[in-house]
Amino acid sequence: MRIASTGKEVKKKRRTVDKLTMVRGIVIPVDWDKEGNALAVAISSPDEQEYLIEQDEKGKELIGLIRQEVEVSGMVRKANKDRKTITVKSCRLKTSENH
C-alpha cells in the first residue's frame, strides 16, 4: 500500500495551518487603470500594516468601499518581504454606531 507516501506529500504542501484573522482599517486603492479607476485595494490598519486584498469575488467587493473603515475576517499570508495578503471571508463596514 502507498497510502503513507500520499499523506506525506499533502503534509509537505501544507506547511502552515490557515487560521481566520480579523483585520480592521481603512480601504485604500493600490492599483489603478488608465482612467484612474481603482483595480485593487488594501486595508491600512491603525498599526500601519498594509494587507493587500486577494482579488477574488469577495475581495473585489471592497473596491466600492475605498476610504471606508472596515473589519475584515480572512486568511492572512505573507506575499513577499513585508507585504501581507488577506483572502476575505467576511467584511463588515464600521459605522459610528459600532465603534
Average the pLDDT over each of 8-12, 15-19, 68-72 and give the range with the smallest value: 8-12
Domain-wise residue ranges, the chain: 17-98
Side chain identity at residue 3, one-letter code: I
The rounded radius of gyration (Å) of the Cα atoms in the chain is 17
What pTM value is reported for the model? Answer: 0.75
- Please name every residue paired with 78 in a beta bridge, in sequence order, or none if there are none: 84
| Distance of alpha carbon 10 from alpha carbon 70, whole angstroms | 35
- With a cut of 90, say whether residue 97 has pLDDT above it: no
CA dihedral 97, 60, 55, 82 (to 10 degrees): -30
At 18 the pLDDT is 66
CATH number of 17-98: 2.40.50.140
Those residues whose C-beta lies under 8 Å from the C-beta of residue 24, and which sit 6 or more positions away, are 43, 45, 46, 69, 70, 71, 72, 94
